[in-house]
A and B are shown apart, each in its own frame.
Chain A
Amino acid sequence: MTSFALRRLLIAAPTLFIIITLSFFLMHWAPGGPFDAEASLEPEVIANLQAAYDLDKPVAIQYGLYLGKVLRGDFGPSIVYIDRTVSELLAIGLPVSLRLGLSAMLLAILIGGSFGILAALKKNSSADYAVMSMAMTGIAVPSFVMAPLMSLIFGVILKILPVATLEPRGSLAEAIPALAPITPYIMPVIALALPQIAILARLTRGSMIETLRQNYIRTARAKGLASRNVVWAHALKAAALPVVSYLGPAVASVVTGSIVIEQIFQLPGMGRFFIQGALNRDYPLVLGIVIVYAVAVIILNMIVDLLYGVLDPKVKRHA
Chain B
Amino acid sequence: MSLFAAQRDAHNALLEGATAIQGRSLWQDASRRFKANKAAMAGVMVLGLITFSAIVAPSLSAYSIDDLDWMNINAPPSLETGHWFGTDDTGKDLFVLTWIGARVSLAIGVMTTAVALSIGVIYGATAGYVGGQTDNTMMRFVDVLYALPLLFFIIILVTVFGRNIYLVFLAIGCVEWLTMARIVRGQTLSVKQKEYIEAARASGAGSAVIISRHVLPNVVGPVIVYVTLLVPTNILVESYLSFLGLGVKEPLTSWGVLISRGVNTIESAPWLMLIPAILLAVTMFCFNFIGDGLRDALDPKDR
On A, residues with C-beta under 8 Å from B are: 11, 14-15, 18-19, 22-23, 26-27, 29-30, 136-137, 139-142, 144-145, 148-149, 152, 156, 248-249, 251-253, 255-256, 259-260, 263-264, 274-275, 278-279, 281, 286, 290, 293-294, 297-298, 301
Total interface residues in chain B, CB < 8 Å: 37
| B277 part of interface (Cβ distance < 8 Å) | yes
Contact in complex: A293, B236 (CB < 8 Å): no
Complex interface: chain B residues within 8 A of A18 (CB): 144
Separation of A19 and B236 alpha carbons in the complex (Å): 24
Convert B224-236 into 0s and 1s, putting 1 for each residue whose CB lies closer than 8 angstroms to a CB of A: 0000000000001
Jot down 26 A-B pairs with beta carbons below 8 A, ordered by A.
Answer: A11-B140, A15-B147, A19-B148, A29-B160, A30-B161, A139-B284, A140-B284, A140-B285, A141-B284, A142-B240, A145-B277, A148-B266, A148-B273, A156-B267, A253-B149, A256-B151, A256-B152, A260-B240, A260-B244, A278-B155, A278-B156, A281-B159, A290-B152, A294-B148, A297-B148, A297-B149
CB-based nearest A residue for B140: A11
Contact in complex: B153, A279 (CB < 8 Å): no
Contact in complex: B266, A152 (CB < 8 Å): yes
CB-based nearest B residue for A286: B156
Complex interface: chain A residues within 8 A of B284 (CB): 139-142
Partner of B149, one of A11, A15, A137, A255: A255
Contact in complex: B147, A259 (CB < 8 Å): no
Convert B126-162 into 0s and 1s, putting 1 for each residue whose CB lies closer than 8 angstroms to a CB of A: 0000000000000010001011111111011101110
Top 7 closest A-B pairs, CB basis? A30-B160, A140-B284, A256-B151, A255-B149, A145-B277, A278-B159, A148-B263
Contact in complex: B285, A275 (CB < 8 Å): no
Separation of A15 and B148 alpha carbons in the complex (Å): 9
Q: Give the contacts of B261-290 with A (CB-CB under 8 A).
A: 263, 266-267, 273, 277, 280-282, 284-285, 288
Partner of A145, one of B140, B148, B160, B280: B280
Complex interface: chain A residues within 8 A of B144 (CB): 11, 14-15, 18
| B259 part of interface (Cβ distance < 8 Å) | yes
Separation of A256 and B155 alpha carbons in the complex (Å): 11
Output the least CB separation between B145 and chain A (Å): 9
Contact in complex: A297, B266 (CB < 8 Å): no
Q: Give the contacts of B149-179 with A (CB-CB under 8 A).
A: 149-153, 155-157, 159-161
Contact in complex: A256, B161 (CB < 8 Å): no
Separation of A145 and B266 alpha carbons in the complex (Å): 11
Separation of A142 and B243 alpha carbons in the complex (Å): 11
Complex interface: chain A residues within 8 A of B148 (CB): 19, 252, 294, 297
Separation of A294 and B153 alpha carbons in the complex (Å): 12
Taking A137-B281, A256-B240 as given, write out 7 further A-B residue pairs in contact, using a Cβ cutoff of 8 Å, ordered by the A residue number.
A139-B284, A140-B281, A144-B259, A248-B146, A260-B244, A297-B149, A298-B147
| B253 part of interface (Cβ distance < 8 Å) | no
Contacts A30-B160, A152-B267: A145 and B281 contacting too (C-beta < 8 A)? yes
Interface centre among A136, A142, A255, A294 (most CB of B within 10 A): A142
Contact in complex: B149, A141 (CB < 8 Å): no
Separation of A30 and B167 alpha carbons in the complex (Å): 14
Complex interface: chain B residues within 8 A of A259 (CB): 151, 155, 244
Contact in complex: A249, B288 (CB < 8 Å): no
Q: How many residue pairs between the two chains, A and B, have CB atoms under 8 Å in the bound complex?
A: 105
Complex interface: chain B residues within 8 A of A256 (CB): 149-152, 240
Output the least CB separation between A119 and chain B (Å): 15
Complex interface: chain A residues within 8 A of B160 (CB): 26-27, 29-30
| B87 part of interface (Cβ distance < 8 Å) | no
Contact in complex: A252, B259 (CB < 8 Å): no
Complex interface: chain A residues within 8 A of B288 (CB): 136, 139-140
Contact in complex: B147, A145 (CB < 8 Å): no
Complex interface: chain A residues within 8 A of B149 (CB): 252-253, 255-256, 293, 297
Partner of A26, one of B156, B236, B280: B156
Complex interface: chain A residues within 8 A of B157 (CB): 26
Partner of B243, one of A19, A260, A293: A260
| B260 part of interface (Cβ distance < 8 Å) | yes
Separation of A29 and B161 alpha carbons in the complex (Å): 9
Complex interface: chain A residues within 8 A of B151 (CB): 256, 259
Output the least CB separation between B161 and chain A (Å): 6
Contact in complex: A274, B152 (CB < 8 Å): yes
| B239 part of interface (Cβ distance < 8 Å) | yes
Complex interface: chain A residues within 8 A of B267 (CB): 152, 156
Contacts A145-B259, A297-B147, A301-B147: A274 and B239 contacting too (C-beta < 8 A)? no
Separation of A278 and B160 alpha carbons in the complex (Å): 8
Output the least CB separation between A313 and chain B (Å): 21
Interface centre among B140, B151, B161, B280 (most CB of A within 10 A): B151
Separation of A27 and B244 alpha carbons in the complex (Å): 19
Separation of A259 and B263 alpha carbons in the complex (Å): 17
CB-based nearest A residue for B154: A256
Complex interface: chain A residues within 8 A of B273 (CB): 145, 148
Separation of A14 and B245 alpha carbons in the complex (Å): 33
Output the least CB separation between A285 and chain B (Å): 12
CB-based nearest A residue for B156: A26
